[in-house]
């Protein structure tokens, strides 16, 4: 019984963290049809921003939830102005350029912080379920993910900004026709997407030993979650995050964590073969 | 398309001979061998991407697979000739299966990218987790993150005691690269190669002409896998150890960078790009001021932004302008695969 | 009486709730020239795509020279000797005119024969001045002509052309009509078109599509004077 509870908690956590690490990429992809392969490095920098801020004596929650998103958002803004905006409509070129950026950021962070593992301790103590110990921080991540999804939903559904955003997602020329500059919409989108990547990296930082190359661990998962999710941001994130999270945890508990990871990747290949347009390209069409 | 004539081949042979003898005077053969291996690896992607329009984010998978196949076979057979063949056939067969699955599924560019990238990651994760004694193929232990050391390296066919190493390995690798280069030239000049270019240019038109693009792309992908596998086998002979790092995303990224910098859709570009950048990296590795990744990253970004066709076409253009020859083939636009707007 | 080379039986294509082609029975004889006309959304292009294998019909059959081709892939249909030209110029932009035509010819013969065929087609379609030019740099009319060359290079017995005159100058159109008439010496030709000017100058048998069905089939002059057709076609335009 205790084990079952642990498995449930771990699975919910796996799904939540997949959604968390993919949200920034999903927004940028959904709105701009841009795949940002430096997404993992944006997360890594969010982690470093948090650790630096904490070391400077700032409250950890403020560091994670405010400072990291702003810092990474601004970096994203710079990247958008300098590189991405010259490549709109050239999907493959953007992927290549952002791959270059990811290498660049790894190098820069290595030069600044050194190639050593840093980290901060989790601010929430562990919880026992029977004989099992669960990291209390996992609950925090689940809550953050839920809040994040709700936030994206209400912004897209309820605000004027969201309306423009949804219009742009459907047809990029619509925004221009309505008198909004697509250039500025894209700029804002990339800022928000980067900030969310920074937030995700910051929130996950206490759980991992951070090294400059940490981003590599996230990008593949985020990439396949977003692509498998398909065109709809929220429905796509929840469905593919849910699917991969469950697959991953099932094989983790049944066999081993490595098999869990491999199973996730294999299931992604099979899923894309069966549903080349992603889950929401086939089902849940037209949802947010 | 210029014909391969005996004369052209003879000239190339002479030039290659001179280059082969002169290079060791400037750079050590140990480093040179690695540069040649990378050149061959770049050529494999240059072929399928530059001439077939297939952007593979996981060419390192075939490279690693070739290296591992060689190491495992060499331990089991105790000589190198059959393992070299296996190291070509295994990645080729794997590429054929993977390619068939993707192309018959009509996956767009982005999805192709994801799948090839994910497959590379699967190899990376799997190989890293094979430290236990239960992971054995024949008498070869996979060894997890420590990799496989201590296998039989290249020997004269039929004489397992006669090792080919050091300078000799350099010459053998050079000749192998030359042969593969001419084979690739020959393929590109054949109807198969010309149809591949047609498919790169316009898939729908190619199929309206009556060509089965799925089958042709699969075959081309397998040829690319075979060449990458051969490069992997030479790498295994050079390094004398194979590790899961061969399957890393960084390795895949580098192959792509070599092709872009050298020039897509050219035959020599990827090879020169690989050798040049790998040498630059080697030189940079000797200084501590700037991290290597920073420079590689900046190079990739700058090339995508300002010189997306790469160096070789740019130099060719300058050459043509300065010589004043007006006529000539202009490299095609939008070689880099069309954006999958339907995705 | 010439044999029937192309036939559709109850051909139906639905997209969700919309029926773009509704039980179309159509037939075409060897070396016949036929225009498919109809207002926008009449189902001409959908019908065309079902013939070429670009779409698989929901119901019904496509039969070519006695063989059912309903579920065949485009490349299989093309390699049986069906020359296809789609609405937008569909050419290989990055290579020369010669290479375009050679590649089309090569599917049906050896390399040497293909080279001979290429010269012949370039000659016949007056492409020799631009034979070595890269197709991507040519004008629209020239690209259309190159695509006709690609179609002709395979010695097809059936030619399917979707709006071949779109966006062309009147000189280009005249030349195009000449080429098409030349093709009918060896092939049956279907032209999908809604430009009445063009159809008048082709002067041939016409099939009128309306709301996914065949409204009538007759010679162009009869069709043009028919009150129902005028109502459907011109009434909407006015």
Interface predicted TM-score (ipTM) of this complex, two decimals = 0.90
Choose the mutation target among A25, A44, A86, A100 for the interface with B, i.e. most B CBs under 10 Å.
Answer: A100
Alpha helix (H) residue ranges in C107-226:
111-124, 140-153, 170-183, 196-202, 220-225
Q: For C123-179, what is each residue's pLDDT tens digit?
A: 998 899 999 999 999 988 889 889 999 999 999 999 999 988 887 888 888 888 888
Domain boundaries along the sequence of chain C:
1-79+188-238
Overall size of chain B counted in residues: 343
Separation of alpha carbons A196 and A264, rounded Å: 23
Separation of alpha carbons B153 and A174, rounded Å: 62
**Which residue of chain B has the CA closest to A215?**
B249
Q: For C61-110, what is each residue's pLDDT tens digit?
A: 999 999 999 999 999 999 999 999 988 889 999 999 999 999 999 999 99
pTM: 0.88
Q: What are phi and psi of A229, to 5 degrees?
A: -65, -35
Is the pLDDT at A110 greater than 70? The verdict is yes
Residues on chain B touching C86 (C-beta within 8 angstroms): 204, 208
Residues on chain A touching B245 (C-beta within 8 angstroms): none
Residues on chain C touching B201 (C-beta within 8 angstroms): 92-95
Instruction: Identify the CATH number of the domain defined by range C1-79+188-238.
Output: 3.40.50.300
Within 13 Å of residue B290, how many CA atoms lie on the same side as its CB?
Answer: 14
Alpha helix (H) residue ranges in chain B:
6-26, 29-45, 59-77, 81-104, 109-128, 167-189, 191-201, 203-208, 213-239, 249-262, 269-284, 292-306, 311-323
Residues on chain A touching B127 (C-beta within 8 angstroms): none
Q: Residue A29 — very low, low, confident or very high, per pLDDT cuts 50/70/90?
A: confident
Q: With pLDDT > 70 as the criterion, what percentage of chain C qualifies?
A: 97
Q: Which chains border C (3 or more CB–CB pairs < 8 Å)? A: B
Q: Which chains border A (3 or more CB–CB pairs < 8 Å)? A: B
Is the pLDDT at B308 greater than 60? The verdict is yes
DSSP letters of C159-177?
A: EEEESTTTT--HHHHHHHH
- Least CB-CB distance to A104: which of B129, B294, B308? B294
- Least CB-CB distance to B194: which of C73, C76, C103? C103
Question: Checking DSSP bridges between strand B241-242 and strand A127-129, what pairing results, if any?
Answer: unpaired
What is the total count of domains within chain B?
1
Residue C112 sits at the chain B interface (C-beta within 8 Å): no
- Least CB-CB distance to B296: which of A92, A103, A110? A103
**What's chain B's Rg over C-alpha atoms?**
20
In angstroms, the separation between the Cα of residue C158 and the nearest Cα of chain B is 13
Choose the mutation target among A89, A91, A232, A262 for the interface with B, i.e. most B CBs under 10 Å.
Answer: A91
- Taking the alpha carbons of C125, C127, C132, C134 in that order, is the dihedral positive or negative? negative
Least confident of A223-237, A245-259, B167-181, B284-298: B284-298
Where does C95-168 show beta strands of DSSP type E?
158-162
Is the pLDDT at B330 greater than 60? The verdict is no
In angstroms, the separation between the Cα of residue B101 and the nearest Cα of chain A is 8
**What's chain A's Rg over C-alpha atoms?**
19
Separation of alpha carbons C207 and C215, rounded Å: 8
Residue matched to tokens 């928000």: A192
Residue C107 sits at the chain B interface (C-beta within 8 Å): yes
Q: If we measure between CA atoms, which residue out of A150, A226, A1 comes closest to residue A9?
A: A1
**Which residue of chain B has the CA closest to A108?**
B294
C and A touch with 3+ CB pairs <8 Å, answer no
pLDDT attached to residue B340: 36
Separation of alpha carbons B62 and B230, rounded Å: 9
Is the pLDDT at B334 greater than 70? The verdict is no
- Taking the alpha carbons of A276, A277, A278, A280 in that order, is the dihedral positive or negative? negative
Burial of C208 (0-12, 13-18, 19+ CB in 10 A): buried
Cβ within 8 Å, pair B208-C86: yes
- Taking the alpha carbons of C59, C60, C62, C68 in that order, is the dihedral positive or negative? positive
Q: Residue C237 — very low, low, confident or very high, per pLDDT cuts 50/70/90?
A: very low
* A67: helix, strand or coil: helix
Cβ within 8 Å, pair B121-A268: no
Residue A134 sits at the chain B interface (C-beta within 8 Å): no
Distance of CA B297 to the CA centre of its chain: 20
The mean of the pLDDT values for chain B is 88
pLDDT attached to residue A277: 73
Cβ within 8 Å, pair C94-B194: no
Which residues are CB-contacts of C3 (< 8 A; sequence separation ≥ 6)? C29, C30
Residues on chain A touching B108 (C-beta within 8 angstroms): 276
Give the residue, A172 or B185, on which the prediction is more confident. B185
Residues on chain A touching B290 (C-beta within 8 angstroms): 107, 111
Residues on chain C touching B330 (C-beta within 8 angstroms): 134
Q: For A192-235, what is each residue's pLDDT tens digit?
A: 999 999 999 999 988 888 888 888 878 888 988 988 888 788 88
Q: Residue A5 — very low, low, confident or very high, per pLDDT cuts 50/70/90?
A: confident
- Least CB-CB distance to B305: which of A97, A261, A276? A97
Domain boundaries along the sequence of chain A:
13-210
Structural domain including B298 reads 29-323
Is residue B1 in a domain? no
Separation of alpha carbons C199 and C225, rounded Å: 14
Least confident of A141-155, B328-342, C17-31, C105-119: B328-342
Q: For B172-201, what is each residue's pLDDT tens digit?
A: 999 999 999 999 999 999 999 999 999 999
Residue A271 sits at the chain B interface (C-beta within 8 Å): no
Residue A86 sits at the chain B interface (C-beta within 8 Å): yes
Residues on chain C touching B191 (C-beta within 8 angstroms): 106, 111
In angstroms, the separation between the Cα of residue C232 and the nearest Cα of chain B is 33
Q: What is the mean pLDDT of residues A97-110?
A: 91
Residue C95 sits at the chain B interface (C-beta within 8 Å): yes
The mean of the pLDDT values for chain C is 89
- Least CB-CB distance to C75: which of B194, B211, B330? B211
* C218: helix, strand or coil: strand
* A162: helix, strand or coil: helix
The CA distances from residue B85 to A183, B67, B68, B153, in Å, are: 54, 12, 13, 14
Q: What are phi and psi of A124, to 5 degrees?
A: -120, 130
Residue B194 sits at the chain C interface (C-beta within 8 Å): yes
């Amino acid at each position: 019984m205790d084990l079952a509870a642990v498995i449930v908690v771990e699975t919910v956590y796996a799904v939540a963290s997949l959604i968390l690490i993919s949200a920034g990429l999903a927004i940028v992809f959904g709105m701009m049809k841009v795949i940002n392969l430096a997404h993992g490095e944006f997360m890594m920098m969010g982690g470093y921003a948090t650790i630096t801020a904490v070391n400077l004596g700032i409250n950890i929650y403020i560091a994670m939830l405010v400072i990291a998103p702003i810092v990474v958002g601004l970096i994203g803004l710079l990247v958008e102005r300098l590189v991405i905006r010259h490549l709109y409509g050239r999907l493959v070129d953007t992927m290549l350029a952002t791959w270059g950026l990811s290498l660049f950021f790894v190098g820069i962070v290595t030069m600044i912080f050194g190639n050593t593992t840093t980290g901060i301790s989790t601010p929430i103590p562990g919880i026992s379920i029977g004989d099992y110990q669960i990291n209390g921080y996992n609950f925090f991540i689940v809550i953050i993910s839920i809040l994040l999804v709700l936030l994206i939903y209400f912004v897209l559904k309820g605000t004027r900004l969201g309306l423009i955003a949804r219009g742009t997602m459907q047809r990029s020329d619509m925004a221009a026709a309505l008198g909004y500059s697509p250039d500025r919409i894209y700029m804002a989108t990339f800022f928000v997407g980067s900030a969310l990547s920074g937030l995700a990296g910051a929130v996950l930082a206490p759980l991992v030993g951070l090294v400059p190359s940490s981003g590599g661990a996230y990008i593949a998962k985020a990439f396949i979650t977003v692509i498998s999710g398909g065109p709809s941001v929220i429905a796509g994130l929840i469905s593919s995050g849910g699917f991969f999270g469950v697959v991953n945890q099932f094989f983790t508990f049944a066999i081993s964590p490595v098999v869990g990871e491999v199973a996730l990747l294999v299931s992604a290949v099979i899923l894309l073969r069966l549903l080349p347009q992603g889950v929401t390209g086939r089902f849940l069409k037209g949802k947010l | 398309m210029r014909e391969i004539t005996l004369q052209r081949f003879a000239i190339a042979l002479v030039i290659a001979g001179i280059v082969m003898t002169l290079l060791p005077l400037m750079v050590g053969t140990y480093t040179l061998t690695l540069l040649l291996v990378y050149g061959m690896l770049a050529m494999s992607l240059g072929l399928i991407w530059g001439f077939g329009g297939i952007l593979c984010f996981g060419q390192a998978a075939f490279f690693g697979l070739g290296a591992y196949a060689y190491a495992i076979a060499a331990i089991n057979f105790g000589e190198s000739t059959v393992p070299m063949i296996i190291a070509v056939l295994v990645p080729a067969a794997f590429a054929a299966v993977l390619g068939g699955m993707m192309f018959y599924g009509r996956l767009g560019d982005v999805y192709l990218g994801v799948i090839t990238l994910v497959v590379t990651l699967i190899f990376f994760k799997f190989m890293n987790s094979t430290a236990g004694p239960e992971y054995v193929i024949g008498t070869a232990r996979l060894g997890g993150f420590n990799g496989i050391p201590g296998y039989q390296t290249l020997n004269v066919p039929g004489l397992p005691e006669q090792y080919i190493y050091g300078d000799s390995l350099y010459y053998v690798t050079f000749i192998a690269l030359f042969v593969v280069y001419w084979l690739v030239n020959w393929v590109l000049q054949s109807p198969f190669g010309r149809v591949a270019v047609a498919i790169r240019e316009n898939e729908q038109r190619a199929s309206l002409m009556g060509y089965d693009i799925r089958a042709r792309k699969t075959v081309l992908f397998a040829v690319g896998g075979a060449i990458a596998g051969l490069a992997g086998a030479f790498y295994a002979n050079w390094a004398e150890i194979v590790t899961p790092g061969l399957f890393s995303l960084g390795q895949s990224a580098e192959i792509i960078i070599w092709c872009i910098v050298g020039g897509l859709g050219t035959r020599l570009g990827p090879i020169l790009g690989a050798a040049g950048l790998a040498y630059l990296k080697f030189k940079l590795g000797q200084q501590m001021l700037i991290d290597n990744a920073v420079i590689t990253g900046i190079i990739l970004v700058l090339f995508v932004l300002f010189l997306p066709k790469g160096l070789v076409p740019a130099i060719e253009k300058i050459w043509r302008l300065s010589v004043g020859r007006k006529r000539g083939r202009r490299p095609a636009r939008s070689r880099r695969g069309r954006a999958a707007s339907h995705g | 009486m010439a044999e029937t080379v192309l036939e559709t039986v109850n051909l139906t294509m639905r997209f969700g709730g919309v029926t773009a082609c509704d039980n179309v029975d159509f037939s075409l004889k060897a070396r016949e020239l036929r225009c498919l006309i109809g207002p926008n959304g009449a189902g001409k292009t959908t019908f065309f795509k079902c013939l070429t294998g670009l779409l698989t019909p929901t119901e019904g059959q496509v039969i070519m020279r006695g063989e059912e081709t309903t579920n065949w892939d485009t490349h299989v249909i093309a390699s049986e000797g069906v020359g296809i030209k789609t609405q937008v110029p569909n050419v290989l932009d990055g290579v020369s005119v010669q290479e375009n035509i050679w590649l089309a010819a090569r599917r049906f013969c050896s390399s040497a024969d293909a080279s001979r065929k290429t010269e012949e087609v370039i000659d016949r379609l007056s492409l020799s001045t631009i034979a070595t030019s890269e197709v991507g740099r040519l004008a629209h009319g020239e690209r259309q002509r190159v695509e006709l060359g690609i179609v002709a290079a395979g010695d097809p017995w059936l030619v399917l052309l979707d709006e071949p005159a779109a966006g062309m100058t009147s000189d280009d159109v005249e030349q195009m009509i000449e080429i098409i008439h030349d093709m009918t010496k060896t092939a049956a030709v279907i032209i999908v078109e809604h430009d009445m000017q063009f159809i008048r100058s082709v002067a041939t048998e016409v099939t009128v599509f309306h709301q996914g069905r065949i409204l009538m089939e007759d010679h162009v002059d009869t069709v043009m004077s028919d009150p129902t057709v005028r109502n459907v076609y011109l009434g909407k335009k006015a």
